[in-house]
Structure 1
Amino acid sequence: MNKVENIPYAVPYIDDEEIKELIDTVRSGWLSKGPKTVEFENKFKKYVDAEHAIGLNSCTAGLHISLIAAGIGEGDEVITTPYTFVASSNTIIHAGATPVFVDIDPITMNIDVNKIEEKITQKTKAILPVHFAGYPCDMDPIMEIAQKYNLTVIEDAAHAVYTQYKGKMIGSIGDYTCFSFYATKNLVTGEGGMVTTGNEESADKLRVMSLHGMSKNAWNRYAEKGSWYYEVEYPGFKYNMTDIQASMGLVQLEKMQKMQQIREDYAEMYNKAFSGIKGLTIPFSDEVNRHAWHLYVLRVDSKKFSIDRSEFIEKLTEKGIGTSVHFIPVPMHPYYKRQGYNIEDYPNALAAYEGAISLPLYPKMDKGQVNRVIQAVCEIAETYKR
């Protein structure tokens, strides 16, 4: 009997182009921040239509120093979503502030903009929306609320390279936008991130804080005719991107349109296959905004099946299909429970979590693998329907 091939949940789309660029970078001797990082920053800011871009070692680092650059600290509050990876709220705590969660919209799974204002207090200093799975938050009302209450908007765009909101690229809207280039993301550098901003003073602050707090003038140390002299203006962090990461990013950026087209094609295959099955809800998308399809989150209504979401995942695993769950809501984690957060206060986030299954969706897949995932999901849904 032939062994069934397992389909991993996520595999990066890396080929000889990235390998060649990496070899060239290593041979150049620029292993940390250097000319490739600067080139990647310049090309990325043009791609997302931003004024400034700062390459970093992660999106988490970007969120952290964006909060600090915005002057957020002890005693302040930042409004965000409970339905995200903990990095979003962890960085608020690292900055000395307090996360204030607003429940999600049950359809888009993004922060519910209609519930933001009721959580604003005199301590509120920022809104940190997360573009879940690659579909944009409703940014117009968020920016209007921010202007009304003099709040900073820091977007968590870890899922949103390529995403557009009403024709505008994510990266060109909020005060700060933070991207991730982690190994499972749409654009991969292994580890890595980027912050974009439209404010030159903010960009200067981010650059200083990302590299030990060294002054702007000290950055010529990383040019070909570098100087030994530097001054530290702030007790900064070691958050900079490296040329090794940037060399991969440059190649990946050139391939973005090709990779995104594959994601869109596969998402459409999933949508057509699952949209008519009772008990399954496909991800929300529309013609107004451009979805990056970082994740394909299928939602399972356990009332329609004789198995729950966790058992559905087990059946997929038995069929060789890798999956994940996005996300365990932040208030469910032990640390946040100890701080007094209660998941029952966010019923939409809890419901989304209890039904969510993230299916494999990446350009390295072929259509045969996509069809295998479809077949497995359909067989399980048919076998265990009520």
Structure 2
Amino acid sequence: MIPYGRQDISEDDIAAVIDILRSDFLTQGPTIERFERMVAEQCGVRHAVAVSNATAALHIACLALDLGPGDLAWTSPNTFVASANCALYCGADVGFVDIDPVSWNLSVERLAERLAEAERAGRLPKVLVPVHFSGRSCDMAAIGELARRYGIAVIEDASHAIGASLGGQPVGACPHSDCTVFSFHPVKIVTTGEGGVITTNSDDLAGKLRMLRSHGITRDRSLMRQQDPAPWVYEQLDLGYNYRMTDIQAALGASQMDRLSPFIQRRRELAARYGEVLAGLPLTLPQSEGLWESSWHLYVVRLRLEAIGLTHRAAFEALRKAGIGVNLHYTPVHLQPYYRDLGFSEGDFPQAERYAAEAITLPLYPGLKEAEQDYIGETLRSLLT
């Protein structure tokens, strides 16, 4: 089976982890700060805060922006459930904004319409979570302008997008958002095993995030309420969580970050080659990039069902039977049983639903061989024509 995604672990990565296992710090040591600096430098941002996973990152980003009961957060329905769940963890309500039919990201046009409607209804979201689906940035300048106009905080969910850029500026620089969240799961572009990072230019927000990831505890004397605290004293100032990353994870991540550029280059080469291999087939391919320089976490095609005489499921199962580990990213979040129980239903977000009825994620990762890519193309050609 050719998987849809796979980590790429080098001997240097293994050596970096072994070095930590032989060191004095397995967690809460200096390697975490080194990894954070590498991510911050890559993104051109003031702060990077490492946590145990991207779901934890989204959760404490919402908390740090004071999202809570009675508040509302909006995100895209075309995402993993964590992009919506993070608001529910805070006791807030969740809504969605339909996707653009070309980019498959959150639609700026629909966002503008929904914000105007929400303002008239007196129920604006407090937080917006745009998702950079498959590694392609949302139109953050337009989203940021709308957010400023309506007084909304913005968390970029860039779980797919480390190494991506828009107009030459790295995703994660946060010129149009309060913060950005990255994922380092094994199928992502860079891995720490499990892990996440939040980037921000706000000193205050970074301080809140660091406290929330570690039980709400501080040892910073300038923040303590005691006067002249004893050397052993720490204070819990907030209800935080144990969302810390380990030095073992950070060592792997730091080693992987050294190869971010070749990882991205290879993904872009394979994505361009897919365009050649799949040319002429009854498929809608990902849009050419222009100003958007995708990190190509995923390569998603859409079946032109009216032209192939197959159902979505039949095509998917035939590819799996042929040893191609295709996947679907994503079933729209609002159609998950839990969210149906909250009142969402089919027809709420038609573009996301139409997309999910046609989409198939093809294998894409640096170790994918060109012969395997040719086989994928040949199998699709045989199946669809």
Contact 1:104 1:348 in 2 (8 A): yes
Measure, in 2, the Cα distance between the counterparts of 1:273 and 1:338: 43
Q: What residue number does 2:24 align with?
A: 29
Contact 2:277 2:374 in 1 (8 A): no
Q: What residue number does 1:60 align with?
A: 55
SS in 1 for 2:15: helix
User: Normalising to structure 2: TM-score of the pair?
Assistant: 0.93
* 1:66-87 residue CA offsets vs partner (Å, 9 max, x unmatched): 1111111111111211111100
Q: Please tell me the residue identity of whatever aligns with 2:95.
A: V
Contact 2:219 2:233 in 1 (8 A): no
SS in 1 for 2:274: helix
Q: Gapped runs of 5+ residues in structure 2?
A: 223-230
Measure, in 2, the Cα distance between the counterparts of 1:60 and 1:143: 23
From 3, 10, 27, the equivalent of 2:5 is 10
Q: Please tell me the residue identity of whatever aligns with 1:172.
A: A
Does 2:138 align with 1:137?
yes
Does 2:154 align with 1:153?
yes
Aligned-residue offset at 1:33: 2.2
Contact 1:80 1:128 in 2 (8 A): yes
Does 2:171 align with 1:170?
yes
RMSD: 1.4
Measure, in 2, the Cα distance between the counterparts of 1:17 and 1:228: 38
Q: Please tell me the residue identity of whatever aligns with 2:152.
A: L
Say if 1:218 and 1:162 are closer, same or farther in 2 by CA, change over 3 A: farther
Q: What residue number does 2:213 align with?
A: 210
Contact 1:274 1:281 in 2 (8 A): no
From 247, 252, 275, the equivalent of 1:271 is 275
Alignment of 1:203-282 (within 5 A): 203-215=206-218, 217=220, 228-277=232-281, 279-282=282-285
Measure, in 1, the Cα distance between the counterparts of 2:221 and 2:131: 34
Q: Please tell me the residue identity of whatever aligns with 2:57.
A: G
Say if 1:161 and 1:218 are closer, same or farther in 2 by CA, change over 3 A: farther
Q: What residue number does 1:75 align with?
A: 70
Aligned-residue offset at 1:34: 1.1
In the TM superposition, structure 1's runs of 4+ consecutive aligned residues that sit over 2 Å from their partners are 117-123
Does 2:98 align with 1:98?
no
SS in 2 for 1:245: helix
Q: Please tell me the residue identity of whatever aligns with 1:162.
A: G
Alignment of 1:297-376 (within 5 A): 297-376=300-379
SS in 1 for 2:79: coil
Aligned-residue offset at 1:285: 2.9
Aligned length, in residue pairs: 369
* 1:308-351 residue CA offsets vs partner (Å, 9 max, x unmatched): 12111111122111111000101111110011112311110001
Does 2:379 align with 1:379?
no
* 1:331-379 residue CA offsets vs partner (Å, 9 max, x unmatched): 1111100111123111100011011110110012221211111111122
From 80, 90, 107, the equivalent of 1:85 is 80
Q: Please tell me the residue identity of whatever aligns with 1:239.
A: Y
Contact 1:208 1:216 in 2 (8 A): no
Q: What residue number does 1:223 align with?
A: none
Aligned-residue offset at 1:216: 5.2
Measure, in 2, the Cα distance between the counterparts of 1:112 and 1:217: 43
Identity, in percent, stands at 37
SS in 2 for 1:344: coil
Q: What residue number does 1:45 align with?
A: 40
Q: Gapped runs of 5+ residues in structure 1?
A: 1-5, 220-226
